[in-house]
C-alpha cells in the first residue's frame, strides 16, 4: 500500500432507473461497484441489465453490453418492445452492444485484438497473466461508464478443466473492472433458487454486490422476485420483494414481500 493515502472522496451512487429497485438501498449502488446479477433461466436478469443501460445511455453515459447469448438484433428488438429506443441510443454513440462466441475467447490469443476482449484473452494465456491488462480507452475512444457481461458463466465455460487458470483469470478480471472505474454488472446463470450465486462460488466473494433474481414455483404458479444479498459500502433492505415485467420493462415492488413456503437458505 502506498504511503500517500487518497483523500476521502464524497461517495457517489448510481440509480438503476428500474422503478422501485433503488428504494432497496439507502443511497443506491455505489458507483464503480462490480455486481453479480444471479438467477435462473427466465428470471429477468438480462432485461434488468438492459433497462439499466437504456436509462444511462439516455442520460449520456457510455454503456457497453457484452454478450454471448442473444444476437444484437434480438436484444434490440427486446429493447424496442419496451420502448427504450435502442437504435437512437446506438446512433448517439452511448450504447454499444456486441455479441461474442465463447470459442472466440478461447482461441483469441492466436489473433490480435484491441478491445476488452483482448484484455480477457491475455488472461487466458498464462504467459500473459503477469502483464497488467491494457486500458481499453486509449485505443477505442469508448470509455464505458457501465459494462454488462452476459454472462460470466459463459466466460467460465471456456475454462472447463482449467480451474486454476480460471481462478486467477477471474481475479484479474475483477481488478480490471476496478481499475477502469466503471460500474459493472456480471450476469451469472444459476439454478432457480441458487445455493451458489456464481460459477464457482468464489466470484460472489470477489464481487462488491450480489443481486439474486428468483423465478420459483409455489405449487403451480411461478413468481418472480429480487433480493440484494450484499452491497459493500451501502446499507440495503434484507428481504425478497416482488418483481414484475410489464410493457415498459421491469418494476420492483420494495414493499411487497414475497412470503411463502420457501425453505431457509
Residues 119-178 that bind a copy of itself (CB under 8 A): 129-130, 151, 153, 157-158, 160-161, 163-164, 167-168, 171-172, 175, 178
Nearest to 96 by CA among 153, 148, 51: 148
Q: What angle is formed at CA 185 by the lines to CA 178 and CA 160, rounded to 5 degrees?
A: 90
**CB of 163 vs a copy of itself, minimal distance in Å:** 5
Cβ proximity to a copy of itself, 60 vs 201, nearer residue:
201
Which residue, 112 or 220, is less far from a copy of itself as judged by CB?
A: 220
Among 116, 147, 240, 250, binds a copy of itself (CB under 8 A): 240
CA distances from 194 to 31, 182, 214, 231, 236 (A): 26, 27, 9, 18, 20
Task: List the interface residues with a copy of itself, window 71-110 (CB under 8 A).
Answer: 71-74, 76-78, 80-81, 87, 90-91, 96-99, 101-103, 106-107
Q: Which is nearer to a copy of itself, 140 or 168 (CB)?
A: 168
Buried b (16+ CB within 10 A) or exposed e, 186-207: bbbbbeeebeebbbeeebbebb
Which residue lies nearer to a copy of itself by CB, 114 or 238?
238
Residue closer to a copy of itself by CB (options 118, 174) is 174
Q: Please list, residue by residue across 171-182, b when 16 or more beta carbons sit within 10 angstroms of its beta carbon and e when fewer do.
A: ebbbebbeebeb
Does 180 bind a copy of itself (CB under 8 A)? Our answer is no
Q: Which of 230, 251, 253, 254 binds a copy of itself (CB under 8 A)?
A: 230
Residues 43 and 192: beta-carbon distance below 8 Å: yes
**Residue 248 in the binding site for a copy of itself (CB under 8 A):** no
Residues 60 and 94: beta-carbon distance below 8 Å: yes
Answer yes or no whether residue 5 interacts with a copy of itself by CB under 8 A: yes
Smaller CB distance to a copy of itself: residue 25 or 197?
197
Q: How far is the CB of 25 from a copy of itself (least distance, A)?
A: 14
- Give the three cell numbers for residue 259: 412470503
Q: What whole-number distance in Å separates Cα of residue 153 and Cα of residue 174? A: 14
Amino acid at each position: 500500500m502506498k504511503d500517500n493515502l487518497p483523500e476521502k472522496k464524497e461517495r457517489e451512487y448510481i440509480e438503476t432507473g428500474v422503478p422501485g429497485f433503488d428504494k432497496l438501498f439507502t443511497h443506491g449502488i455505489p458507483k464503480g461497484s462490480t455486481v453479480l446479477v444471479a438467477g435462473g433461466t427466465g428470471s429477468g436478469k438480462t432485461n434488468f441489465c438492459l433497462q439499466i443501460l437504456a436509462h444511462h445511455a439516455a442520460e449520456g453515459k457510455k454503456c457497453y453490453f457484452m454478450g454471448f447469448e442473444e444476437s444484437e438484433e434480438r436484444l434490440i428488438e427486446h429493447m424496442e418492445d419496451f420502448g427504450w429506443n435502442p437504435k437512437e441510443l446506438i446512433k448517439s454513440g452511448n450504447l454499444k452492444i456486441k455479441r461474442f462466441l465463447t470459442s472466440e475467447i478461447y482461441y483469441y490469443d492466436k489473433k490480435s485484438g484491441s478491445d476488452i476482449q483482448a484484455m480477457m484473452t491475455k488472461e487466458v494465456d498464462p504467459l500473459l497473466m503477469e502483464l497488467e491488462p491494457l486500458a481499453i480507452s486509449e485505443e477505442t475512444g469508448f470509455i464505458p461508464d457501465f459494462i454488462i457481461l452476459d454472462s460470466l458463466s459463459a466466460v467460465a465455460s471456456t475454462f472447463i478443466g482449467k480451474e486454476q487458470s480460471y481462478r486467477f483469470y477471474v481475479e484479474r478480471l475483477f481488478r480490471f473492472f476496478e481499475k477502469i472505474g466503471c460500474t459493472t454488472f456480471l450476469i451469472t446463470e444459476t439454478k432457480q433458487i441458487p445455493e451458489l450465486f456464481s460459477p464457482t462460488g468464489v466470484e460472489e466473494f470477489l464481487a462488491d454486490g450480489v443481486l439474486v433474481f428468483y423465478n420459483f414455483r409455489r405449487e403451480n404458479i411461478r413468481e418472480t422476485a429480487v433480493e440484494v444479498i450484499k452491497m459493500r459500502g451501502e446499507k440495503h433492505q434484507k428481504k425478497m420483494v416482488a418483481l414484475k415485467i410489464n410493457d415498459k420493462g421491469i418494476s420492483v415492488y420494495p414493499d411487497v414481500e414475497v412470503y411463502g413456503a420457501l425453505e431457509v437458505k
